[in-house]
Structure 1
């Protein structure tokens, strides 16, 4: 059975100012998701599942179904606030969704095969999809997962600081810990992160998570158990978020599962800020000129 691609597309883009998940960047208005799915099909994925808000389902289907019919199986799941599905009877007030790790629980009833999770608004490159498929087909077990590690120097914006999950690995290339650095930016010819007003340097090739994770369906039960604890512990923190790195951190610390850090030297790019859009468009134009992608992605 071919692996599944799970795309996180339910979040709203507060800093970007609009729904960047379905904004057009390619020569014919292709979204970043289009390029991810194109690479995923080429790499050997068999199904794509979109995590979206229910009110956007018609929008997404209108955009993607005409392109994908006959090329890859599709499904749609919705992230919602209902805690009773997890056995939590207590009413908990929220100002925002519960986060990316909670979002993947939305897919637990439709994914029965090894799968990977990506962000809708990030460009990852074919190399990452191919390496992930190889891992999911040949190495993934219920206690051996993975994460694609990008070189931090190839993931930054020219228009402001970014958050990056900095990965520390052991000699065998497995994750020891992942630390969220919330203020990472270029400074001169170098890279720094800021903490409590102090700047610390980072090497260009430091591996970071861009939310490209590989799992088996066993992770759903593990995540659900962790989420129940998280929700009750944070019931008085309406902005607290349950992120995927928290799963990785917990499973590694408790020796429940290991995470192979799969290195890629692909250039990552994304649209954190509105000002990033021309750079992304130019980057895609260059990839088309280089022959990485056809000019008309789906009509070839």
Structure 2
């Protein structure tokens, strides 16, 4: 059974200042998502599912349906604030959805096979998709997940703070815990994260999650249970987020599920801020010049 790729593309790009998911960066107007999909197809993924917002669904489908027709099966699900489990309540003044864990939960009804999760605005590299596809095709246990781990120093934006899942692993490269740090910056004295108005240093070779996960369908049961609890505790807050690293950390604490860390030395790039676009476009052009990608990605 071919694995599915779930692309989290519902973010509104508040720091970027627009719909960064569909902003072109390639020499033939390709988006970062295009390169991820190209790598996924080459690695043997059989279906793409996009998590998007209803507000830009038409524009999004117009961009991707035609170029992917005949290449891979494509599906769409919407992430909206009001899509919560029956009986749950939340603050009606809230303006944004509930985070990455909620986004993945939206795909519950259309994924029944092993699947990978990526952010729409991150470039992960050809090797990462090959490694993840190999894991998903060959791991037979419903209790075994995976994560592509990157070196923190390779994932920092020069233009502002970023959020990363900071990981600790055991001697057999399985995840022991992952903590979402929502304000990490490269300072003059080194990389650090901010907590309670204090800067706490982080080593550049710290393993971090870039939300490239490998899951089995059983994950959706965990997501639904934890999301109900999350809403009961934090549903009245306007900016609370249901992060997937926090979900995974609780699953690991349960003791029945392991998460294999698939290491990558690749240089991350993405478009968290509009100023990141120039650097991302230059990185893609270099990959084209090296022959990793053709100048025109889709024929």
Scaled to the shorter chain, the TM-score interval is: over 0.9
Name the structure 2 match of 1:105.
105
Task: Tell me if structure 2 keeps the 8 A contact 1:140–1:215.
Answer: no
The residue number in structure 2 matching 1:87 is 86
1:12 maps to what in 2? 12
CA distance in 2, matches of 1:256, 1:208: 23
* Structure 1 pair 161–89 and aligned structure 2 pair: CA distance change class (3 A): closer
Residue in structure 1 matched with residue 3 of structure 2 by the alignment: 3
1:111-144 per-position Cα deviation (integer Å, ceiling 9, x unaligned): 1100011000111111111110011111252211
Question: Which residue of structure 2 aligns with residue 177 of structure 1?
Answer: 177
Aligned residues: 298
C-alpha RMSD over aligned residues: 1.6
Deviation at 1:184, TM superposition (A): 2.1
Write the distance in 1 (CA, Å) between the matches of 2:165 and 2:89.
Answer: 32
Deviation at 1:89?
Answer: 5.0
Between the aligned partners of 1:202 and 1:90, the Cα distance in structure 2 is 38
Distance of 1:13 and 1:263 partners within structure 2: 28
Matches of residues 49-68 of structure 1 in structure 2 within 5 Å?
A: 49-68=49-68
The 8 Å contact of residues 4 and 49 in structure 1, kept in 2 or not, is answered as yes
- Consecutive unaligned residues in structure 2, runs of 5 or more: none
3-state SS of paired residue (1:109): helix
Q: Offset at 1:231?
A: 0.7
d(CA) in 2 for partners of 1:217 and 1:296?
Answer: 35
Q: What's the offset of the Cα at 1:189? A: 7.4
Per the alignment, residue 48 of structure 2 pairs with 48
Instruction: Output the TM-score relative to the length of structure 2.
Output: 0.95
Q: With structure 1 as the length reference, what TM-score do the two structures score? A: 0.95
Task: Report how far residue 162 of structure 1 moved.
Answer: 1.6
Q: For structure 1, which segment, 211-220 or 137-146, has the greater mean C-alpha deviation from structure 2 after superposition? A: 137-146
> Could you tell me how far apart the structure 1 residues matched to 2:226 and 2:201 are?
33
Q: Structure 1: where are the runs of 5+ without partners?
A: none
